[in-house]
Amino acid sequence: MLGDDEILTVTLADSVAALRLDRALAEALPGLSRERIKTLIKGGRVADAGGTILWDPSAKTGAPATIEVRVPVAAPAHNVAQDMGLVIAYEDEHLIVVDKPAGMVVHPAAGNLDGTMVNALLHHCAGQLSGIGGVARPGIVHRIDKDTSGLIVAAKHDKAHEGLAKQFAAHSIDRRYLAIATGRPMPANGTVDAALGRSGTNRKKMAVVAEGRGKHAITHYRTVEPLKGATLVECRLETGRTHQVRVHMAHIGHPLVGDPVYGRQRKPLSDVLRNRNFVRQALHAAHLGFIHPVTGNEIALDSELPADMRELIDELRV
């Protein structure tokens, strides 16, 4: 350590002699993304063994060569770390997958400045976060609604964050939800291909909009089990848009049971929900599959339905 910098010394082998400096360093330093390394180079924080500062990320590297990279210690996050007893589905030094309960907000925002999953991760991962963009915080690459339960992944450093973000952008993440939809979808299995955008009448809601006005969105659904006045369905996301499952199922006439925004419950289903005090959309992120952004291993995780949904399904069984 020198001042507030961590000094990383890298010896570049002959195999990277033809590569750009930023790419060669990104391969040698798995905890730093290429974009982060570019920023460090342009900030005068990369030098050769003689102390000469290397300013150009695109310069070819000579090899063998010893390079010093000065990485500022990650600044502390502004959010407060809170011990909230997270349920961890998977964790290593690069990333963490949380099995989020319904009712927990993912990210602090106006009205929810603490008590969020980020606050809990700052406590759980204390000392493990090497910085996302120079800040010691978990790298959230996707979100699930406050009242949706299930699996969500976060990165512990830039390299993992960048690798996960690329997979989400390429729609290669395997995300499957279990949902209780009202009525009986026909056909029993199908695909909803409908763009989503902000509602023109309520900016807090999403809506199906004309192609070109919103973001391309595709949901594949299949019937798992018919229920009384409802159906347990699995929804596989080809894209991941805000409220996608909720809006797409409502769009085909089968809003999710308990959805306070996109659904309206009728008797006798409404009586069942009231008696059970079931006051959220019946939606659970049950499966998450991706390629580990550092090791390259396939990660496939499943989460059991929470008790409130299991008990509701039991009561609605035919």
- The residues carrying an active-site annotation are 145
Residue keyed to tokens 């894209």: 239
> Measured between alpha carbons, how far is 71 from 54 in angstroms, rounded to an integer?
14
Sign of CA dihedral 137, 142, 144, 149: negative
**Separation between Cα atoms, residue 112 and residue 105, nearest integer Å:** 7
Cis peptide before 108 (omega within 30 of 0): no
Rounded Cα distance between 277 and 89, Å, is 28
Q: What number of CA atoms fall less than 13 Å from residue 79's CA on the CB side?
A: 25
103: amino acid identity, one letter: G
Compute the distance between CA of residue 248 and CA of residue 97 in angstroms, rounded to an integer. 26
Closest CA to 113 of 69, 79, 147, 65: 79
User: Interhelix angle for 21-28 vs 34-42, to 10°?
Assistant: 120
Q: How far apart are CA 25 and CA 22, in angstroms?
A: 5
Among residues 206, 197, 198, 194, the alpha carbon closest in space to that of 261 is found at: 206
